[in-house]
Structure 1
């Protein structure tokens, strides 16, 4: 629970009434930049409070950074909102919550008071709504190329993946691959492909960094989206910055399955429909681009999950919890769905290795000795 007097004063100024109630919302409690997230209600009025901080203890992986280009720069989300950048996609059907107030606190924290969006979370959307979101995303990223800002993320994937090292030594550990959850639920051949992806990581990152650029959200997954009638509301802009055109889609599709919002069995049809919709949006935007480069960005984005295989090996013996750690979930279900999704990403990686040289990129290291 936040510090009462300060929070109540802010709530009174934002909502205009006394007696506010603070209900914690699900978020990543490990992240050192997030002091907490609450839905704040008073009578019929409500808002969402998100506290940004650099004073919270966190592991090195999730520590807050003072480097404005770092993927976990602590104040980025406040900059995105106060600059208006969070709303640049609004003409294309994707907007951010309205900023009600930004409070600079005496302890150095920043309190974001945001519109409480009551719409349906994307975690419960039908596939057709996800596909429509992909079209809107393509139109927005094709049309909007804002000026750079010194606090936008640069080289996000390289830095993000580089900090995810848990379990990497297990990729070559026979015993880890014999754990029943891994043995029974990871498809045949997945070990070979994931080890290969790990060894090719630098090549994939360089390809992504050399592809056409876009303003990206960089944490685009269903838990960060809500519906607002026909519009989509995107939450959590703390990673926003420069990315490859198509990179956000390459994150959104597998993340829909990794956290059990879409069945893995539907991923191939879902990914195909969403990719076609994204291209349709790009064409609607009028942006002139070789669509093969967009496809390469989507497929090469598989490298973002290089770390996930190692993590699954490392945590096979642990209790499996949902996002935010609020409740246990079926280990068998998680490993089966993630195993199938990793196998799908291995196909994306193979496609990227095959298509990149045809588009002028060097062959991957693992492809030079075939």
Structure 2
């Protein structure tokens, strides 16, 4: 296809789209402790803006994915980018936490289009190990988001308020909207599109929901994402309030962990098909993530030095670069004709499980290192257990 002749451009555009959710979450994390005071609300209410965004991101994918199987990828993507820009500007001028929650909901629907359709386009164009390697390559751009986003957010806070973060996000969304318009052709030919039939869409979801091979990998990825999301949603409070890190120091820690996603994503691309297959690499990564999660919990319970906690967090977060690439490739391999729906259900479960993990972590009313570590252990161990049975076929 024409689109495959510009692989670096494709990686950059699709990687940016798939990183939209992480970018939108990570850039404002350093500002969360200070937002509560300016908006005259509680820390838990501010954290709810994160949960609302994640739930909207999940539900939006379920809408956009099936639509893209009927309309093609390009039109829903352009609409989504426009919604994202509007939602970001809404957040920037929100006078209260209620208005901010509404803006985050709109913003999340736009981000959902980029997240789900990036995976669907890759499935349109690649198969087998080539698809796994491309997903691994996307981890370069995906990893840049958690590296750069909190650093930008932290630096903005030194010269302005948290509202500027959302102005910057709106500008990024506008640039990407132009990039998609100019450089990204349609990847789903008309003869491969599904008819516009809601009953057919429901049948597709029923088929996916009963496909144990697909569900095994989707749930493993969702649980691993939930372990990392516990870190994403809780680390700003744990590291800044609990361990005394400044917003700038926190952004550096967050960026280093993002670098781990890039590094191990590329290691995965080099190893898959040469040293081991996707199944083996996925299980090894989940085992390492479980050990890292145990290290986080031990550091919290035993009051171990901060470097122990930081190293353990790096181990867990880095493994996401392997898990998401391999699990996504294995899950979508058998669903080329319904890549949009399959990608959307994966996104729904991934962000739904992640938001539930974050909510459970906050049940006590205060996010602690122990609660974060416990959540990470439960989620990573559950993901590993899911894949320790017989090999999926």
Higher strand share: 1
Higher helix share: 2
User: What band does the TM-score fall into relative to the shorter chain?
Assistant: under 0.3
Higher alpha-carbon Rg: 1
- What TM-score does the superposition give when structure 2 sets the normalisation length? 0.26
